[in-house]
Amino acid sequence: MVVASNAPIVVAVDGSDEALRAVRWAAAEAVREAAPLSVVSVVEPFIAPFGQNVAGWVEAEQYVEAARGLAQGTVDVALDLVAEIAPAVSADGEVIDGRPALVLRELSSRARMIVVGRRGKGGVVGQLLGSVSSDIAAHSNCPVVVVGERLPESGPVVVGVDGSPASTGAITQAFVHADMLGTSLVAVHSYGGFAGDAFYGQGAEVLRRLNDEAVQSLGSQLAGYREDHPDVTVTPFISASPAASAIVEAAGDARLIVVGSRGRGGFRGLLLGSTSHAVLHVAPCPVLVVH
Question: Which pLDDT tens digit goes with each residue over 134-180?
Answer: 999 999 999 999 999 999 999 999 999 988 787 899 999 999 999 99
Predicted pLDDT at 60: 67
Q: What is the pLDDT of residue 109?
A: 96
In the chain, % helix, strand, coil (3-state, to 5) comes to 45, 20, 35
> What integer pLDDT is reported at residue 57 of this predicted model?
56
Residue 199 DSSP code:
G
Residues 200 and 238 occupy one common structural domain: yes
The pLDDT value given to residue 268: 40
Report whether 213 contacts 240 (CB < 8 A).
no
CA distance 278 to 190: 15
Question: Is 21 part of a structural domain of the chain?
Answer: yes
CATH of the domain at 49: 3.40.50.620
Tell me, yes or no, whether 25 and 73 share the same domain.
Answer: yes
Could you give the number of structural domains in the chain?
2
Bridge partners, residue 114, by sequence = 10, 144
Instruction: Please report the pLDDT score of residue 190 as a whole number.
Output: 85
What's the Cα-to-Cα distance from 196 to each of 30, 135, 199, rounded to whole Å? 47, 38, 6
pLDDT score for 283: 94
| Residue 1 belongs to some domain of the structure | no
> In DSSP terms, which residues pair with 235 in a beta bridge?
186
Q: Give the count of beta carbons closer than 10 Å to the beta carbon of residue 50.
A: 5
> Distance of CA 250 to CAs 182, 223, 245, Å?
19, 21, 9
- Given 147, 176, 209, which residue is the final one in a domain? 147
Instruction: Note the pLDDT of residue 47.
Output: 64
Contacts of 234 (CB under 8 A, 6+ apart): 184, 185, 186, 187, 222, 226
Q: What is the CATH number of the domain that holds 249?
A: 3.40.50.12370
Alpha helices in 121-164 (DSSP H): 131-139
Same domain, 29 and 143: yes
CA dist 246 and 241 (Å) reads 6
Give yes or no for a contact between 70 and 98, defined as CB atoms under 8 angstroms apart: no
Q: Is residue 2 one of the residues assigned to a domain?
A: no
CA terminus-to-terminus distance, the chain = 10
Select from 138, 121, 139 the least CA-distant residue to 130: 121
Residue ranges in the chain whose pLDDT is less than 70 = 1-3, 47-60, 120-129, 192-204, 262-272
